Amino acid sequence: MRNLQSSAAILIAAAAVLVFATSNVVEGFHINLKVHDHVYNNITLYARLDVHCKSKQDDLGLQWVGFEQEYIFTFHPNIQETTLFWCNLSWEDPDTGRVYSQGIKAFTPGKCSTHCYWLAKSDGIYFAKDDKPKDYKWAYPWNS
């Protein structure tokens, strides 16, 4: 009888682990949910946007984003909900040679659930989230 109870307990525990591992939400916490960060260049025709993103654990390196192109990086936030990503964006004005740059908090817990959208324009950096990718709000100025 004891072996049967042990086997039943192991089976129930295994089933619980399986449900937990395949579920996106457990008691309000997001588990293994992918977040996609999108960075669009809408500055000007001949301006290349340089994007360098990193977290405490990962450095994604320098990415060059052409006009009307995007850079997307995807990651799984940790279970403690402490994952942070920063990006440095910069570009050179092709007419004046002036360089503009700005650091942004590309992802912080609660900022967005599955998609963070960043739009670089000549007057600043705009942000939209999740199911509203067209609802951009001004977020950061350029430093020069």
pLDDT tens string 78-136: 877 778 899 999 999 999 999 999 999 988 888 888 899 999 999 999 999 987 767 89
Q: How far, in Å, CA of 91 to CA of 47, rounded?
A: 6
Amino acid at 70: E
Neighbours of 104 (CB within 10 A): 20
Kindly state the tokens that stand for 83: 């994952």
Report the predicted TM-score, pTM, of the whole model to 2 decimal places.
0.74
On whether the CB atoms of residues 92 and 98 are closer than 8 A, the answer is: yes
Given this model, what pLDDT does residue 109 score?
A: 81
Residue % of the chain over a pLDDT of 70: 77
Residue % of the chain over a pLDDT of 90: 56
- Residues whose CB falls within 8 Å of the CB of residue 24, separated by 6 or more in sequence, listed in order: 30, 31, 32, 33
Q: How far, in Å, CA of 106 to CA of 38, rounded?
A: 9
Given this model, what pLDDT does residue 12 score?
A: 52
Q: How many CA atoms lie within 13 A of 126 on its CB side?
A: 17
Which ranges of 23-104 does DSSP label H, i.e. alpha helix?
A: none
